[in-house]
Structure 1
Amino acid sequence: MASKKHFSTGFSLVEVLVSVVVLGVGLLGAMSLLLASARTSSEAATFTAAVNLVRDLSEKARMNHAIAQRDDASNGYLVEGWTEGAAPGSMGLSCIASNVACDAAQLAAWDMREWQLRVAAALPDARASVCFDESPWSDAAGAYTWGCSGTGRSLVVKLGWTGRGADDADKPASPRLVMQMAPGQPQDGQHGS
């Protein structure tokens, strides 16, 4: 009598468990990549909104350059250390109606108030400074700073907000965006273009 050997085809329970573990690890990796991608996309959208806000204010200041180039209290665009929780600038006149006559200083104050409201709505925990600064982009260590020298020809916007990522809590509270808004008056007898 001949013996017949039966070979089992299919998977054993151990093989199935190993494949489930490998699949689970792969799915967890894919989920973490998806979450990191969503966080990065959200932060990029916030940064784009900040750049657009600064660009908008810069265009308004360039249209009202007689006020924006002044380095004194009559410059309604100057604000230091404004935070989202603080009240925006004084309401003054609403300069958008066709029958309202705003002078340049009133227009600057109105522009800044409207801009601060838009910044507060668009950026989480927003902070802003608009000031004249000789070296606005970094300190000796290469980091952005909130402080303004109050001198120089560059009217700059320093804008910061709280990031949505978990690692943002460890970062120092420094501006995330620093951009020149408009050139100021010439200093030391120089002539601007």
Structure 2
Amino acid sequence: MAVSDVPVDLGRDEAREAAARELADPAYVSDDPNPLERALDWVLDRLGELFAGAGGVSGITAVTVLVVVAVVIVVVVRLRTGRTTRSRRASGEVFGSAVRTAAEHRAAAERAAAEGELAEAVRERFRAVVRELEQRGVLDARAGRTVDEVAAEAGRALPDLAGDLRSAAVQFDDVWYGGRPATGEGYRRLVSVDDRVRG
């Protein structure tokens, strides 16, 4: 548009529309703070008002308030991530997509243990226990069963083994979903549970 095409006399409505069109340009919006920045600014403004309203707040008081706020934030974050980890652990399935017999899971566990892969040995031995319970009719064969469900259902059917089954489930959970290292002693306890289930 040539300079001569620009109207010199703009009415109130025309000027408002022209300004609205200009300000709608994305170049003006890109520097707006995001919601997180606005929330942080709001919190900092409230803290500033708190300190200003308290008159002569000492440096120690200000630091104490900031430390308390930081501790609360850390606690909330830890509780939230802990809850997420627990729910992820509780939903962990026992079996993958492959279908094996209890004997095949036992053999895989022994191979893994011999190679020093104790986490895999724990997983395969627990799978052997579950498959054995299914083959014996103690548990119905069901896809998607969690370790907690195995321990609860099998423990009701075999009350003498309920504690052992619960310990085995906790060990499986801790190693595979809790990130704890598997140990030789833990694996031997699992072998003992498996032997008792077979006996």
Settle same-fold status: TM greater than 0.5: no
Give the structure, 1 or 2, with the largest relative contact order (CA under 8 Å, sep 6 or more).
1
Query: Could you state the TM-score of these two structures normalised by the residue count of structure 2?
Result: 0.29
Please identify the structure whose Cα radius of gyration is greater: 2
Would you tell me which structure has more helix in proportion to its own residues? 2
Query: Could you state the TM-score of these two structures normalised by the residue count of structure 1?
Result: 0.30
Would you tell me which structure has more strand in proportion to its own residues? 1
